[in-house]
Structure 1
Amino acid sequence: MKIHRPSLHPSGLTLLELLVVLTILVVLSTVAITSTSGVADQARYEATQRTLENIRDAVIGPANLRDTDGTLLYTGFMADTGRLPQAAAEVVDGGTVLTLAELVQQPAGMAAYQVLPAITSNCTPADEADEEDIKVNADTVRLGVGWRGPYLRLPPGNLLPRDGWGAQLVTPAGVVPGFPNDSLLNSGGAVGAGDPIDQITSYGRDGAAGGVDVYDAELDVNFSEMVAATVVAQVEIQDSTGTVLNSSEITRVFVRLFEPNSSDGMISVKAAVGPEGAMGDPFDSYHEHDNDLLTFSPVSTTPGIRAVRAYARKDDGTTRPVNAGNLRSAPVYLRARPGSNTIKLVIINKP
């Protein structure tokens, strides 16, 4: 029988071997943590980009929503209400912050979205309504106006949008613990309660302005160049045969632009100034017609669907024309975009 003697060299790791193994594990763990940190930062960066894109879509409509000619369609909060969202105050622990709440909750005093006829009861100023002296009919200007939200949809449990690093995109009203940054801005810097919000900024991983690393740098969306639009109306007057009428036939021409009333979600009416200049107050700006084609001065508005109509009549110039006696063009609905929008031809047919 063979006798097995105990080994003089028992199996196991020596202290040196154990140190080598531990060193390898530390190195591998460091590499793994560093690699995972980079992946996490990239995910947070991309989440911040998506949040800002969602806010942009809420305010002016999705970037991929385009007209047949490839130009961007404006369909968000600004198109419906005629203005940018305004900073809303919200009380938090330690003070008050200003938020984008208008994109989520219907603003006080703002009507819900509806398609309204531009009659006296719906317009400001009332005496500029389209059909003030005759009953509403198919020829009346109609416009979709009011709050159609929520425009911004947030994950469950989130009442305010956050960037990828968890920072709420708000501006503190004064010094508020836990809210160090002014994320809601306008042309003058940090917004105040009720101010329009031109820019939304995330301050990145370090939560501070500046930063060399891409993850520490600010990301923002800016609306300052997307707000201002003008409409230029060119008016030609024809009789039923297509003959252009001159000043001996028609002496007064005026143009109205219909847009959302940014205060109450109803309809606001603006009068365009013609080649001869305004006569009386700005809303009585009917004009001498002594040219075949009248080009009216630009009227300011915001991007979105807007309506324009031209009116004409012959009178002695001592009183403001009223709708009951006016000749009208067909209502012209246009998708106003930032910059100048020209209506090439508005035709008024004489019966």
Structure 2
Amino acid sequence: MKRRIITGLFIFIVILTPSNSWAEDESLSEERMNLYQKTASLTQVPWSIIAAIDQYERNINDVDEDRITGIQMDPNKWFGLLAVDENPSHYEATIQAFNGIGKDGDGDQYANPQNDEDVLFTFAHWLNEQLGKGISYEESLAQYYDREKAAQMIKQYQQLFSHYSTVELDEHAFPIPSYNQYSYRSTWGAGRGYGGRRIHEGTDLFASYGTPVRSTSYGIVEIKGWNKYGGWRIGIRDTDNVYHYYAHLNGFEDELEEGDIVEPGDVIGYVGASGYGPVGTSGKFPPHLHYGMYRDNGENEWAFDPYPHLKRWEKQSQ
């Protein structure tokens, strides 16, 4: 009798813990969505664009523990150039005196750069002002972040959020269907013999020619075609600023094109042995999928080891 009670209690705790964590994530997502939609109704800027901007900033910044959104406005823009008085009780006077863009979004007569509603409203209002000058959202964002790639990524996030009508796109899948034979191990950092001195930036999954290769994430097909190192390859960007790189393919899924939306488990190509030479080169190594992951921090992009992620996704698929 005691053993049955203890075992049942243990199982209850194991199930309850992740459930609470999931519920907390769900609650934050709902709060963000409510703010995006409220801002959209006040400014007529689509909620998906507001959500995409916030997603980009949460990807590149540490989010203040007192906030649930991540947009961090430049004080020189919020309060105005050369403003030095940031005393909360003087916010409105400072903004007006120095021609800042800070706006009151929640109706408390107080434009606070640490208030989520004020920040979202201010950014959306600024976008509308730019639009009134004939400057598109994408052009405005490229100027604001001084980076065309930032505007490109935000546009991709907006497409995904709009397509799925949600910002919860964190699901992942293992790149090889479980019914296929494959093998892999950690190969991060190993030396490469082609193309000069360089390291292996990914994990090799060995499988037979023609084995399906699946997208591991929700994302946009950013690039598709030939690379002398990776052969026939596909690059997919997800909403976490992560670029997923699938190389040495034997071919692509029919009708898959750059700009297409994919989701976890979608077949995007097939295992091959292409690469290490001009277009069409193949057979210089056993057939396998080279899978790489690259993160963008708002300034540059770097590779990180995908092996731990693959092990987790593989376990989840089983």
More helix by share: 2
Relative to the length of structure 2, the TM-score reads 0.26
More strand by share: 1
Larger relative CO (CA 8 A, sep 6+): 1 or 2? 1
Relative to the length of structure 1, the TM-score reads 0.24
